[in-house]
Amino acid sequence: MKPQLTRSPSKAASMFLGTQEKCTTCSKTVYPIEKDAGVHALSNVCHVDVERTSKRKPGEVLQPHEPSVVRRAVNHFLQKEGDIMVIDVRSVPSDFHARYKAQERTYYYRLLSGQESLSTFERDRAWHVPEELNLQTMQEACKVLVGHHDFSSFRAAGCQAKSPIRTLDELHVTESVSVPYFPSFVEREQCNISVQDSPNNNGEELTESCQQFGIRRGHRCLVVKARSRSFLYHQVRLLVGVLKCVGTGQITVADVKCILNARSVTAASPMAPACGLYLGHVKYDFN
């Protein structure tokens, strides 16, 4: 019998376990808040509270399934759904909570700068900014925003957090290889090999090969990285909106400090669109 296909991890887990189970995710930004549709997750974490009982002897509690079994089974019900896949499973203490036990969250935001329209591979996966972006001034603006602040100017209406005070541990902008995914360290290194350092003097050909698949020439890719224990509602997108305006020269680094001190979202620049935002990594202490 062909398994029923589903995009929901909760439904896939329930189909495997034979009971209705709820998956609690680490980030409200990515799933399942519909009004945030368009954002992405390179890695999301969820937990499911399960008590495995015997079908032959009702009421008898059995040992939990092995993590590898759970992974294969849930992916079986998620098969052919290319946008969702379980990559790791582990048993955790009963008091574990995917959202509240997270020690750190890392988000990435991709901006593509250049006049040419985006390719099919990049559409809805990055913010297309036709203007040239000044990387140096954007990096200077990041220094103003890093640290322990009242981020009321970067808190969208509808935020349910009790306090706007947050510690932004890391915020910086780097230039990356312009490909429709996040390249590995090896790929970045390969694309940076110079003609002089490459074997057989073919570094130019290697760089050319890094630029061909699915790439429109002329785009410059900047990636904003934001890391904190927790973020306010739409905080990262509001931060990126301000950084973009600094990069295009619409506002100055001094203006960013004024926006932060204004403690009002009306002072901020327009929010960056959802399409460029990626939940990259969530850190836990499993010990």
What angle is formed at CA 73 by the lines to CA 70 and CA 78, rounded to 5 degrees? 120
Which residues touch 216 (CB under 8 Å, ≥6 apart)? 114, 116, 117, 118, 119, 122
- Give the residue from 106, 105, 109 showing the smallest Cα distance to 125: 109
The whole-angstrom distance between residue 226's C-alpha and the CA centroid of its chain comes to: 10
Which residues touch 261 (CB under 8 Å, ≥6 apart)? none
What angle is formed at CA 128 by the lines to CA 123 and CA 130, rounded to 5 degrees? 140
Distance CA 107, CA 236 (A): 8
| β-bridge partners, 109 | 224, 277
Please give the backbone phi and psi of residue 87, each rounded to the nearest 5 degrees, phi first.
-105, -15
Distance CA 234, CA 61 (A): 43
Which residues are identified as catalytic?
36
**253 with 173: CB under 8 angstroms?**
no
Size (the chain), residues: 287
Euclidean distance between the first and the last CA atom of the chain, given in angstroms as a whole number: 41
Cis peptide preceding 130, ω within 30 of 0:
no
**240 with 275: CB under 8 angstroms?**
no
